[in-house]
Amino acid sequence: MRSEGPVTRRVCLALFGALALAVTAAASAGALEFSGEGRGTPRPPYPSPGAIASARAFLEGRAGATALAVVDSSGHLSGLNLREHFQTASVIKVMFLTAYLQKLSAHHRSLTAADNALLYPMIHESNNDDASAVLGAVGEGAVLRVAREAGMRDYVPGVGWWAFSQTSAADQARFFYALPRLIPGRFYGYARGLMAGIEPEQSWGFPPVARPRWQIFFKTGALPSVGLFNETARLERPGVTFTVSVLTNGDPSMAYGEETIQGVASRLLAHTP
């Protein structure tokens, strides 16, 4: 047995070397798989910094007050007037939807026809009476909790009417980026269906530019008496997700406000990843 020691050691060393190579190869393969790229090269963030700069420059030339926030596909936040305060108008209804679905989950309730009769028109046609009913059902405290969970820093409840609540573009982009975490999993598909299926009259701004290349989940809001037109959206393609919020005030007309948001969309989505 002693005479076989060197041979045995050589065999063991060879086996150890082969095992080490196998472990290294597996680790490399895992790294490539994690990166999502066949060559291990991560995708550049989308929208690109150049596209965001183009959208910023466009907004700076528009009438009234404007703000833009983008959380790109790498999770980086950038934009214009990120924390300037604007009234939410109807974009807040997605916060109401989230609070309502969280309440159902906390009480171990399923979604009923009565629930849908409130939530569907609130999102699909932006019905204000149903939004008021939903807020009454959940309470302002539940909406504030959603804001905290989303990392919103500028949300302030409205005085006199929920549409006068204060928000920022950064708040809204962060919120939409966090939706998969905020909405209970068993209701997430339902919420996505509502936000993807909004009626054509309410589908201005990003949807005409994004479809059909992107899945888009969004909410618009308007207070025409003060020239306020807002939109926040979550856009998805295989391997790419980003969120965007455009807030405006003092627009000379609704058509102008819609053109402003559509102009931002055209610049951000000029190149498909």
> Is 131:122 a contact under the CB 8 Å cutoff?
yes
77 bridge partner residues: 71
pLDDT of residue 39: 53
> Is 69:172 a contact under the CB 8 Å cutoff?
yes
Give me the long-range contacts of 128-132 (CB less than 8 A, separation at least 24). Answer: 128/90, 128/163, 131/90, 131/92, 131/93, 131/96, 131/162, 132/162
Indicate the fold that domain 49-268 takes in CATH.
Beta-lactamase (3.40.710)
Tokens 């982009």 sit on residue:
173
pLDDT of residue 147: 98
Q: For the chain, which residues make up each domain, given as ranges?
A: 2-35, 49-268
pTM of the model: 0.85
Helices marked H in the chain — which ranges? 5-35, 49-60, 93-106, 113-124, 128-138, 140-150, 169-177, 179-182, 185-196, 206-210, 254-268
pLDDT of residue 78: 98
Question: Residue-wise pLDDT tens for the chain (273 aa)?
Answer: 333 344 343 333 343 334 333 333 333 333 333 333 445 677 899 999 999 999 999 999 999 999 999 999 999 999 999 999 999 999 999 999 999 999 999 999 999 999 999 999 999 999 999 999 999 999 999 999 999 999 999 999 999 999 999 999 999 999 999 999 999 999 999 999 999 999 999 999 999 999 999 999 999 999 999 999 999 999 999 999 999 999 999 999 999 999 999 999 999 999 988
